[in-house]
Amino acid sequence: MANQLFIVCTFSFLEAFLQNIYGNDISFLTFSGAVFQFNEIEYSLEVRDFIVREKIKDIYIVNDTSCRFINGIIMRSKVSGFPSENVIEELYIDSYLKYFKDQPLFKHKYILAELNVKNQILGF
């Protein structure tokens, strides 16, 4: 399954898991919280060049519900200072009344992971 790119969180260590499912002929980009920093122009251009050079046809954004950023934000832990953490925290705060209020706490991480992926898709 060549020509596939998976965007994953640097700290989730999902590469081996995904290779077991999709094979070793896949590519990865890692970002903290799987949040691509679109405002970093030079890096964005390098990513674009990689996608063209490797003839990437499919891009998958993968969030792990045990992500330390997602769980830290939900549990109101001390922030680490990563820009991605701010993005995910804003999603959580801005969407709280619509998606999280009156939901059991264990569902918050699934909902927040899904919102984070959707937010990244809108950026591409």
- pLDDT digits 0-9 by tens, 33-84: 888 877 788 988 999 999 999 999 999 999 999 888 999 999 998 778 888 8
- The pTM for the full model equals 0.85
Q: How far is CA 2 from CA 20, 40, 53, 97, in A?
A: 14, 27, 13, 41
Chain segment 100-120, per-residue pLDDT in tens:
999 998 999 999 999 999 998
Q: Dihedral sign, CA of 34, 50, 25, 16?
A: negative
DSSP 8-class letter at 3: S
Give the model's pLDDT for residue 81.
81
